[in-house]
Structure 1
Amino acid sequence: MPIKVQLAVDMTCQSCVDDINGVLGTVPGVDKIDISLDDKQVMVEGTATPSSILKAIKDTGRSAVVRGTGSSSGGNIGAAVCIFEEGSAMGNHATRGLARFVQIDETTCFVDISVSGISDGAHGIAIHECGDMSQVPESCGGRWNPDSVELDRLVVKDGWGDLAFETDRFKVWEIIGRSMVINAGNEGGVLAGVVARSAGLFENDKQICACSGNTLWTEQRLVDQGHRL
């Protein structure tokens, strides 16, 4: 099914627009590209996945954030955000990153995760039953994922890691109020946060992130460079 993908992208001049047009034109499934330099917004229509579109733009060296997706006929299905804080295994509960969830269609959810300042290596990711952050990971309950296994592995190198993927293992409306927990071997839940509803496609034109006060792309760049939010 054709979809629209809305992204906030750090663009400063027409050269940025030309570069993004060029790289997106090589992504299979991209049918239409609409770029607004003034609004720093990119709209893509077609059958390409949000993760492939996001990767293509990031490969140009520019920071980008998927703000929402929806069907080409209009309408937002669902979106959510999770702000990660350090769990009890790490100590001081500093903010370390975030995850964004956007429902692409009735069965597929796009997930975009960025973290910084945690140990290098492969970290497991899972949705847990509860949104209680009082004693991570025990207070988060058991894994809620329908098959009770990790969603994926987030690889952290030099204190920073990101991951973008599509999944049909849950829908946005099923995880609101639950938690996402990032683990590392025997460390337990090193990062965790509550999944909360957020604005979807065309529902919020703000360029400032409420959790950090930075523009969306500055926030992403800070994470990309290994800094805390």
Structure 2
Amino acid sequence: MAIKIQLAVDMVCQSCVDDVSRVLAGVEGVDSFDVSLAEKQVVVEGAVRPSVVLAAIKDSGRAAVVRGAGSSSGGNIGAAVCIVEEGRALSDSKTRGLARFVQVSDSLCFVDITIGGIADGAYGVAIHECGDLSNVPASCGGHWNPDGVAHGDRSSGHRGDMGNVVVSGGQGDLAFETDRFKVWEVIGRSLVIGAGPDDLGAGGGAQSRDDGGSGPGILAGVIARSAGLFENDKRICACSGNTLWEEARLIGEGHRL
């Protein structure tokens, strides 16, 4: 897997450029990068997750936002993003994570999920049929299963089956490539995090065959089309008036946008 990632980075001087370059040079999987102070932009290429690159740049003390991702071979095949929230229908719901989907070739989709702010443990992850968050989890429908097979793992179960994300120290990450779906097939559906671990269909019984016994969804978000490489040059949101950096800070604090 090799992808190209475009980020907007809040840089004001050459020292910022030097700091960002230094941290990127130490990130495993980064093959090359270009840092532009004038454009406040960083482009990274390699076998590396967008969430890892973003975390590294933030560790340099600079606010950063992923603006686009695509195939390293050029062109925008498809990309999507999902803001994972807690209790979407509730006024006190908070952002708990982010999922990115990047079509890196005609057959392969790269998935990068980061979850935080929940108790340590394993949690089942799945794409559900509907993008309706009005009454999570019931309104999300069942696991996306166009083939009509029993629940299982990423290679043989429902097409929406993603296995488990393991949260440790308050944060969990899950990344993989799949040839079982393409980005445009999941846009408009929901990504749901279950209340507990997914037994990948090995537990026996109807519940295991249905959802791996992971229980009702506690976090969910709608999968929406996102910008591909160099398709988004905004720095201020037309809806809220917030800068990219302010939006990123609010999401990081758990606020809904």
User: SS in structure 2 opposite 1:33?
Assistant: strand
Corresponding residue number in structure 2 for 1:216: 244
2:235 corresponds to 1:201:
no
Equivalent of 1:180 in 172, 185, 191: 191
Query: Gapped runs of 5+ residues in structure 2?
Result: 146-153, 197-213
Equivalent of 1:171 in 179, 182, 185: 182
Structure showing greater radius of gyration is 2
> Using the alignment, how far apart are the partners of 2:240 and 2:84 within structure 1?
12
Q: Is contact 1:212-1:219 (8 Å) kept?
A: no
Moved over 6 A (4+): none
> Using the alignment, how far apart are the partners of 2:254 and 2:2 within structure 1?
36
User: SS in structure 2 opposite 1:202?
Assistant: coil
Corresponding residue number in structure 2 for 1:228: 255
> Using the alignment, how far apart are the partners of 2:239 and 2:192 within structure 1?
19
Give the root-mean-square deviation of aligned CA atoms: 3.3
Corresponding residue number in structure 1 for 2:76: 76
Corresponding residue number in structure 1 for 2:119: 120
Q: Where do residues 26-37 of structure 1 align in structure 2 (5 Å cutoff)?
A: 26-37=26-37
2:26 corresponds to 1:12:
no
1:18-75 CA-to-partner distances (Å, cap 9, x unmatched) read 0111121233443332112233210123444434433432332434332222334421
2:66 corresponds to 1:66:
yes
Q: Kindly tell me: are residues 4 and 219 of structure 1, through their superposed partners in 2, closer, same or farther at Cα, counting changes over 3 Å? A: same
Given residue 165 of structure 1, which amino acid in structure 2 is its aligned partner? A
Q: Kindly tell me: are residues 103 and 217 of structure 1, through their superposed partners in 2, closer, same or farther at Cα, counting changes over 3 Å? A: farther
1:1-29 CA-to-partner distances (Å, cap 9, x unmatched) read 75422112232332221011112123344
CA drift of 1:194 comes to 1.8
User: What's the TM-score, normalizing by structure 1?
Assistant: 0.77
Q: Kindly tell me: are residues 207 and 38 of structure 1, through their superposed partners in 2, closer, same or farther at Cα, counting changes over 3 Å? A: same
CA drift of 1:205 comes to 0.8
> Using the alignment, how far apart are the partners of 1:223 and 1:110 within structure 2?
20
1:174-204 CA-to-partner distances (Å, cap 9, x unmatched) read 2111111123338722222221212211111
CA drift of 1:151 comes to 4.0
Q: Kindly tell me: are residues 199 and 9 of structure 1, through their superposed partners in 2, closer, same or farther at Cα, counting changes over 3 Å? A: same
Given residue 69 of structure 2, which amino acid in structure 1 is its aligned partner? T
CA drift of 1:221 comes to 2.7
Task: Count matched residues.
Answer: 223
> Using the alignment, how far apart are the partners of 1:154 and 1:208 within structure 2?
35
> Using the alignment, how far apart are the partners of 2:68 and 2:242 within structure 1?
19
1:56-107 CA-to-partner distances (Å, cap 9, x unmatched) read 323324343322223344210111122444438x844735254333323331
Q: Where do residues 98-113 of structure 1 align in structure 2 (5 Å cutoff)?
A: 98-106=98-106, 107-113=108-114
Query: Gapped runs of 5+ residues in structure 1?
Result: none
Equivalent of 1:155 in 142, 162, 167: 167
> Using the alignment, how far apart are the partners of 2:63 and 2:176 within structure 1?
20
User: What's the TM-score, normalizing by structure 2?
Assistant: 0.70
